[in-house]
Chains A and B, each alone.
Chain A
Amino acid sequence: MKEEALKVIEEVLKSGRTALVEYEAKQVLKAYGLPVPEEKLARTLDEALKYAEEIGYPVAMKLMSPQILHKSDAKVVLLNIKTPEELKEKWEVIHENARRYRPDAEILGVLIAPMLKPGREIIIGVTEDPQFGHAIMFGLGGIFVEVLKDVTFRIVPITERDARKMIQEIKSYPILAGARGEEPADIDAIVDLLLKVSQLVDELRDYIKEMDLNPVFVYEKGKGAVVVDARIIVKEKN
């Protein structure tokens, strides 16, 4: 697990960067068994068409560039591409958008991803405190985190009981537990995510500076969760 993740991080550091692009961040997460979508990085249009065929239409396209970390601002996330023809057309559009946003943007490729069924959005994050070391954060996505700052923290590593308490102690917990007649969300899947992130950070503590898994879609009980977008910042090599 650790070796695979380290390989990705070392590559990034070698190229003089500390911010992993989404694709790289997800490679690190995948190495620790976190659920990420079946995505592939296409370097050419031909590869993109091939991967889209394998994944099955409709697909999403996300352009990967170390200079473009706020992808939606740059309009380099295009969703619901239904046919190869549309993909060809959007391939041009997405590159044009990237150039317009950052003419000097280095483009690593375009991530071809399946369109995901929406779920309840959560955020899992990691930060490093100068006194206590790494801490893991949990909250519900969207306005719950942006406006209400309804999040909770624990110092890494955490226990399963810590993970469960984190989930239960946020104010918006009823949304996960199933308010207004909704099915409850897959709490066990969130616990599993938190524990895996904790393990990842604990083992890679000398490398990881900050992480955002935002959003993560959580489905109904028994149906799991998937990391939709992820950012990892690593420490500069010393």
Chain B
Amino acid sequence: MEAKIVEEMKPFFDPKAVAIIGATNKKGKVGNVIFENFKTNKERGIFKGNIYPVNPKLDEIDGYKVYKSVEELPDDTDLAVVSIPAPFVPDTMKQIAKKGIKSVVIITGGFGELGEEGKKLEREILEIARENGIRIIGPNCVGVYVPDTGVDTVFLPEEKMDRPKSGPIAFVSQSGAFAAAMLDWAAGAGIGIGKMVSYGNKLDIDDADLMDYFIHDEGINVVTFYIEGVKDGRKFMEAAKRITKVKPVIALKSGRSEYGAKAASSHTGSLAGADTIYDAAFKQTGVIRAEDFEHMFDLAKAFAALKDKLPKGDRIGIITDGGGAGVMASDAVDRFGLRMAELSEETLKYLRENFPPHAVPGNPTDVVGDTDAERYRIAIEGFVNDPNVDAIVVIVLFQVPLLEDEKIIDILAEYQKKSDKPIVAVAMGGEKTERYARILEEKGVPVYPTPERGVRAMAGLVKYAEYLRRGA
């Protein structure tokens, strides 16, 4: 069954030929932006498939032949992106079915979200899809973005919305607006997104289908979901249980149904908000719940870098060149349910012997403000070799005068590579710090702007590792 979903999803992410139904030459129109996206990516050599605009009123757009109808489309068409008004979609679906196209993204809104009339259209469309083995993403969505293959149905033009580079994070969003904003933000934050799917009304393909698909997607290390509501809770839980055993799933859940407010005749009913029920479902299936979008991508970044290097326990070691930041990190360790590692006698001895007298061995270890990169190396070496330490948070205030920027970056990257203990870095500061952070992340060390966020991301790794060891 899961293998079938891989087959079914393939044209969405890497089509041989895409038909853009509703393509137009009017700048800024949805059908134009989507066409432009594919065309630009083709010119860049990223999109390798054919592009077939469909519009009964046009002969050509930007040198591309325009097809008058779905019927006229060449036979290699395996993906249809539909952006025509809702009332015309059912007829077009019939033609799509006749043509034998099995993958359809319906961008258009004006369906179930508007009421009964729209729901009727949705039912018609779904019926045609089910009868003909067609899978649908949408309607009412921004569709799919895959940087590696150049598939980009996001109808917000590049000059208005930056696209993130590729990476091992999958991002699935019910809301199209949120998806677009997040892609733009991820691009700015240097976070790589391997695949984005925005499924809108999820008439057909839903969270559970995508989880089953992403189990098999080797380019994806971690799957993030922005969920407003789940239609079939049990199906969601079954799929979540399957994927979380293989890769981490992070969910940001917003929106409360009226259910929480409805009058309940029992005590229990009055205490059960929809949110508490989602919380329970996530806990039972190993889905990690994010507090907000910042937390979601903090976690995603940590898993993207460290999924295969999860901590073996919850004992955290902290290295810092600023006392205050060390205290903040220690507080966060407690707050997020982790433990401060108790360094072994050997480690303390090693640090004392190799540190100048005013540096402070311990947990946290304070290499103090006159540190150079070498002193960090000594501290990290000590922590990495200490059996009492499961994971390491290294706080680097790049502002201290004697710290060689490049050398400390190389040291962190080196230990991330050679040690089996995960390292996350915390770098507080402005533009310069931001630049170093980017370089560090390129080298596999996730970097966070505050100790709280660094420790909170580490807590996600610890909890997921425990889930893998012991179950939900």
Contacts and interface: CB of A to CB of B under 8 A. Distances in A.
A131 B233 contact: yes
Interface in B277-304: 277-281, 283-284
A149 B280 CA distance: 16
Interface string B298-326: 00000000000000000000000000000
Contact of B233 (A129, A152, A154): A129
**Most B CB within 10 A of own CB, among A19, A130, A153, A158:** A153
A186 interface: no
A210 B233 contact: no
A125 B266 contact: yes
Interface stretch (B14-22, B213-221, B267-275): B267-275
A214 interface: yes
A19 B471 CA distance: 37
B237 interface: yes
B239 interface: no
Contact of A137 (B257, B271, B281): B271
Interface residues of B, number: 29
B264 A127 contact: yes
A233 interface: yes
B237 A155 contact: yes
B277 A145 contact: no
Contact of B272 (A19, A123, A127, A158): A127
Contact of B237 (A19, A127, A132, A145): A132
B230 interface: yes
Interface of B is mostly: helix
Nearest to A232: B266
Nearest to B265: A233
Interface string A91-127: 0000000000000000000000000000000010111
Given A133-B234, A137-B272, A153-B272, A127 B266 contact: yes
A135 B266 contact: no
Nearest to B277: A129
A125 B266 CA distance: 8
B276 interface: yes
A151 interface: yes
Contacts of A231: 266
A174 to B, nearest CB: 16
From B233, B274, B471, residue with most partner A Cβ within 10 Å: B233
Interface string A181-219: 000000000000000000000000000001110100000
B472 A210 contact: no
B274 A210 contact: no
A130 B233 CA distance: 8
A210 B271 contact: no
Interface string A129-170: 111110101010000010001011111001101100100000
B407 interface: no
B274 A129 contact: yes
B116 interface: no
Interface string B236-259: 010000000000000000000101
Contacts of A165: 283
Given A137-B272, A161-B471, A162-B472, A132 B281 contact: yes
B231 interface: yes
Contacts of B280: 132, 135, 152-155
A145 B264 CA distance: 16
Nearest to A146: B267
A182 B90 CA distance: 69
Contacts of B276: 151-153
Contacts of B266: 125, 127, 210-212, 231, 233
7 contacts: A129-B233, A129-B259, A131-B232, A151-B276, A155-B277, A159-B471, A233-B265
Interface of B: 229-234, 237, 257, 259, 264-269, 271-272, 274, 276-281, 283-284, 470-472
8 interchain residue pairs of minimum CB distance = A125-B268, A132-B233, A210-B266, A131-B233, A153-B280, A127-B269, A127-B272, A129-B277
Interface of A: 19, 123, 125-127, 129-133, 135, 137, 139, 145, 149, 151-155, 158-159, 161-162, 165, 210-212, 214, 231, 233
